[in-house]
Structure 1
Amino acid sequence: MSENQENSERKPTIVEVIILLVLFLAIAFSFTGIFDLSIQLALFIALFLVIILGLRLGYQYNDLQEALKNGIFNGLEAVLILIAVGALIGTWIAGGIVPSIIYYGLEFIHPSIFLLATVILCAITSLATGTSWGTAGTAGIAMVGVGEGLGIPLPMVVGAVLSGAYFGDKLSPLSDSTVLTASITKVNIVEHIKSLLYVSVPALIISGTAFTIAGFTYTANNVDLSRVDSIMTAIDGIFNINWIMLMPALAVILLLAMKKPAVPTIAFGALLGAVWAAVFQNMDFISALNTAYDGFSLQSGNEFMDELLNRGGITGMVGSVMVIILGLGFGGLLNYIGALQVLVESFTNFIKNTGRLSVSTLMTGFLSNIFGCAMYVSLILTPKIMEKNYDRLKVDRRILSRNTEVGGTLTSGMVPWSDNGIFMAAMFGVPVLQYLPYMWLNFAAIILVIIYGYTNKFIWYTEQDSESTQTT
C-alpha cells in the first residue's frame, strides 16, 4: 500500500457506523424472523455492506479482503472443534454411550432435582475440562436427552446445561478463553480466576436455587413416570446398556482435564464411539465410522426415540460452520475499519465512575459479540478498547479481566449468529431465542457485575486513595 493510499484512509464516523449496524440488524432479523431466510445469507450480504463502507473510507479492496480472511483464520479452531463434536455425537449415539447416559439418568435422577443436577454435572465437567463446548457436546447432550425423557421443556434444560457449562469454563485454568482474557488484560491467571469467584459463585447459587424451584414446580404436575419407564424400555431394547458404555466419555473428560488439545481429543473420542458401536452394539465398523460423518440414523417406529437419537455427524454441522466462517469474516472487517472502536469511543465521556465503567465494559463485550460474531473477537477487542478507562480511574486490571469475561464470554451464547450461539443451537436443536430466557447464571453474573460497580463492592484499585476520584 502506498503512502498516499494510507493517508487517504479515515475512520468511519459514528453516524456511518450506526447506519451500517442498523442495516445489518434489520437484514438479520428480517431474514430470520419475517422471510424465513437463512442467517448465513444475511451475513454474506453484510460482508459486502462493510466492504462498501471500507471502500468509501479509502481502503483498498485487496486489503479489505485480506482483513476478511484474517478474521476467518483467527477463528478456525472453533470450526475444527465444531466438526469434531459433530463426529463425536454421531458415533457416541451409535456406540450406546449417549443412550446409556440417558438411561442411567432417567433411572437415578429424581425429576424434581433434575435441573439442579444438570447444572452441577455440567459445572463439574466444564471445570475439569476447561471447555463449555466440550461439556455441551458430552454431558450436555446426554442431559438434554434425559430432560426430554422426563418431559421437561427443552429450552429450560438447555439453560441449565449452559449455566453449568459456562460456570466451570470461566473458573477453569484449562479454559482457553480464560487464559486468553488473563493474558490480554495482563492479569495473572490465578488472580483472574479469584476475581471471577466473586461473581461466578453467587451467580451459581442464585441460578441453582432458581432451577431447583423450577424443577419442583414443573415436575410436580407434569412428569409422566410411565412415559419415563417406556423410554427406558425402548432404549434398552435398541442398545446394549452397560456401565462399560461410559468409558469413552470418561476418557475424553480425563484427556481434556490433562490439558490435551481439544480437536484431537474429541476426534479420538469419536473413534472410540465407532469402536464401541462395533464391539458392543453389533454394528458393522464401516457403518459405525460413517455415523461420524452422516450422523446416527434410527427408524425404530417410535417417533420420540427417532427424534431423540437421530442427530450428530459432520454434515449436521455444515450450516453452523458456514455461519461461523461468515461471522468471523464480518467481525474481521469491522475490526479492520475501526467500526467497533468508533462506536465504543463515542461514549467514553459517559464513563465517570465504576458503575458506568462496568456497564460500558459489558456493553462493549456484548456489542463485540453482536457485530464481531465471535467470543474471541469480544475477548480481544474489549480489553483493548476499555483498558485506558480503567487506568484513568485507577481501577485494578483484575476488574477489567472479570468484566471482560462476563461481557464477552457469558453473552456470546445469547447472540444467534455468534460462534457460541450457533454452536449451542446446532448442538441441542433449540434456537437461541428459545433457550435465552433460561440462561439464569449468565443473567445473574451480569446483574452482579453492575451491582458491584455501582455499590463499589469487590472493586479494587491501584491506589488506596483512588476512591476519592470517583464521581457520580
Structure 2
Amino acid sequence: MKRRGWALLPFIVFIVLFAGVGIISGDFYGMPALVAFVAALFVGMLQNRKLTFDEKLSIIAKGAGDVNIITMILIFIVAGAFSGVVTAAGGVDSTVNFGLSVMPPQFMVPGLFVIGCFISLSMGTSMGTITALAPIALGVSQQTGFPLAICIGAVVCGAMFGDNLSMISDTTIAAVRTQGCEMKDKFKQNFFIVLPAAVVTVILFFIQTLGMSYNSQASYDYNFVQVIPYLVVLIGALIGFNVFLVLISGIILSMIVGVAYGEFTLLESFTAIGDGMTGLFEISIISLIVACIVSLIKENGGINLIIDTIKKRTKGKRGAEFGIALLVLLVDLCTANNTVAIVMAGPIAKEIGDEFGVEPKRVASLLDIFASVGQGLIPYGAQLLTAAALVGLTPLNIIPNLYYPALMAVCAILFIIFRPQNFTPKGKKEEEKEIQEELAERIKL
C-alpha cells in the first residue's frame, strides 16, 4: 500500500472548512460539523482512481458497519433516551437542589464544582450540566456576593469532570468503543488520573473564596426519589453490568418516577425519550461518516503514514502515549468538539497503541482526557460559549477560573511520565525485534 500524504486530504478538507469558516466568521459553529464531514467524504470518494466507485462504497460500508461503530451509535441513542426522560422526570432539578440544600454557604463555590461533578457524572453531558447549573450559579452569586466568574467557572469545571468520566458520556462511549475495551476498566484508569485534579480544584476554589463576604437565605426544594434513577445507572455501570441493561433500567425507573409524581403522563414519557434520542442523532451520523472517511484514508495509506511519522519521532510506549495525547488535543482544537475529536483520532490511536503495546484502556483514557482538556479551555467551544451566554459574561472572563481542565492535563502528563510501563502488552515493534533477534541467534547456531 502506498503511503501518500494526499490520502489525508479528507481530514484536511474538513479542518479547512470547519476551522476556516469559524476563523473568518468568528463563529466556530457557523459551519455545521456534519456538512464539513460530508464534503470531506466526497473528496475521499474522488481519490484513488484505481478503485471503482462501487469498490469505494464497499470500503466505506465495511467501515461504517464495524461492530464498534454500530455498538457506539446504539449506546448513544439509549443514553440520549435516558437523559431525556430522567430530566423530564425532575431528576436534574432535585439533584441540584439536594446538593445545594446540604452545602454550607461558605462552601458554596466548591460545592458548585462538586455538584457539577455529580450531575455530569450522572447525566453524561457537560452541556446539560452547564445548562442546568448556570442559572443556579448566577443565583448563588447574587445571593452570596461571590464573583459570578468564579461561580460559573466552578460549574464548567464540574461539567468537564463528568463529561470525561461518566459511563454514559458520548466521549466515554466513543473512546471505549474505538479502542475495544471495557467501560469499567477505562473508568478506573481515568478516575485515579483525574482524582488529584478534582481534589486540588476543590481546595483552590475554597482558598479563592476564603474571606469573601457571603449571605445566603435561599431554600432549595428537592425529592430524593427523583435522584434514584441517576444513582441506579451510576452504580450499575460501576459494578460492570451491561451498559444497555443499565440504561434501559434507568429509563424504566425514570418513567415510573415521573408518572408517579405527576411530572408527565405515560404517553408524554415516550415524547421525552424521543427528544432525548434526537439530541444524539447528529453525533451518531457524524460517527458513521467519520468511520467511512477513516476507512478510505486507511485504504489509501493515510493511517500508515501517520503511524510511520509518529514512529520516527517516538521512542517506546511513553512516546506513543504523548503522540496520542497530542493528536487528539490538536484535533479538538480544530473541531471544537471533544466527541468528534475522539471519533476522528480513535482509529489512528488504536493503530498506534497496537504498534507500541499501549493497553486499550490506557489509550481510551488518554483520548478522553486530552480531548476534554482542549474542550474545557478553548474560548470558542460550546461549553464556554453556552456558560458565558447564560450568565451574561464572556468566555475570557471565565477561563482564569478553569482550574480543573488545566490540572487534568498536568495529572495526565505526570501519569504518562511516571506510571510503570512494565505490565503493558508488547507492541508490534517489540515483537518484531524479538523475532529478528531469535532468528539471528538461530542463524549463528
Structure 1 and Structure 2 fold alike (TM over 0.5): yes
Contact 1:113–1:216 (Cα < 8 Å) also in 2: no
1:244 alignment partner in structure 2 = 225
Deviations 1:144-172 (A, max 9, x none): 63454133665652433333564576xxx
Asked if 1:253 is matched to 2:234, the reply is: yes
Contact 2:116–2:159 (Cα < 8 Å) also in 1: yes
Please point out which of 329, 336, 340 is paired with 2:303.
Answer: 340
1:447 alignment partner in structure 2 = 413
Cα offset, 1:403, TM superposition: 5.3
Please point out which of 260, 281, 293 is paired with 2:262.
Answer: 281
Cα distance between partner residues in 1 of 2:44 and 2:241:
38
Q: How does 1:418-433 map to 2 (within 5 A)?
A: none
Cα distance between partner residues in 1 of 2:77 and 2:213:
36
Cα offset, 1:42, TM superposition: 0.6
Cα offset, 1:26, TM superposition: 0.8
Contact 2:194–2:411 (Cα < 8 Å) also in 1: yes
Cα distance between partner residues in 1 of 2:312 and 2:32:
39
Cα distance between partner residues in 2 of 1:290 and 1:208:
39
TM-score, normalised with respect to structure 1: 0.64
One-letter code aligned to 1:97: G
Cα offset, 1:176, TM superposition: 9.6
Going from structure 1 to structure 2, the CA distance change for 1:352 and 1:333 (only over 3 Å counts) comes to same
Identity over aligned residues, as a percent?
Answer: 14
Contact 2:116–2:155 (Cα < 8 Å) also in 1: no
- Which runs of 5 or more structure 2 residues have no equivalent in the other structure? 139-149, 389-394, 434-445
Contact 1:87–1:270 (Cα < 8 Å) also in 2: yes
2:392 alignment partner in structure 1 = none
Cα distance between partner residues in 1 of 2:173 and 2:20:
36
Going from structure 1 to structure 2, the CA distance change for 1:281 and 1:210 (only over 3 Å counts) comes to same
1:458 alignment partner in structure 2 = 420
One-letter code aligned to 2:155: V
Cα offset, 1:81, TM superposition: 2.4
Cα distance between partner residues in 2 of 1:271 and 1:180:
29
Q: How does 1:18-33 map to 2 (within 5 A)?
A: 19-33=9-23
Contact 1:102–1:143 (Cα < 8 Å) also in 2: no
Deviations 1:402-433 (A, max 9, x none): 752344332344677xxxx9xx969x9669xx
Going from structure 1 to structure 2, the CA distance change for 1:167 and 1:276 (only over 3 Å counts) comes to closer
1:404 alignment partner in structure 2 = 363
1:64 alignment partner in structure 2 = 56
The alignment covers a number of residue pairs equal to 384
Please point out which of 382, 400, 403 is paired with 2:349.
Answer: 382
Going from structure 1 to structure 2, the CA distance change for 1:256 and 1:33 (only over 3 Å counts) comes to same
Q: How does 1:46-445 map to 2 (within 5 A)?
A: 46-53=40-47, 55-56=48-49, 58-74=50-66, 75-109=69-103, 110-118=107-115, 121=118, 136=124, 141=128, 145-146=132-133, 148-151=135-138, 156-164=154-162, 166=164, 181=179, 196=189, 201=192, 203-214=194-205, 216-217=207-208, 225=216, 229=219, 232=220, 236=221, 241-281=222-262, 283-294=264-275, 313-352=276-315, 356-363=319-326, 373=340, 375=342, 378-379=345-346, 381-385=348-352, 387-388=354-355, 390=356, 397=357, 401=360, 404-413=363-372, 439-440=405-406, 442-445=408-411
Deviations 1:290-344 (A, max 9, x none): 22224xxxxxxxxxxxxxxxxxx23333333333332333233323333122122
Cα distance between partner residues in 2 of 1:223 and 1:62:
68
One-letter code aligned to 1:162: M
Contact 2:81–2:277 (Cα < 8 Å) also in 1: yes
Cα distance between partner residues in 2 of 1:387 and 1:44:
29
Going from structure 1 to structure 2, the CA distance change for 1:458 and 1:261 (only over 3 Å counts) comes to closer
Contact 1:72–1:325 (Cα < 8 Å) also in 2: yes
Cα distance between partner residues in 2 of 1:90 and 1:223:
35
TM-score, normalised with respect to structure 2: 0.68
Cα distance between partner residues in 1 of 2:281 and 2:178:
27
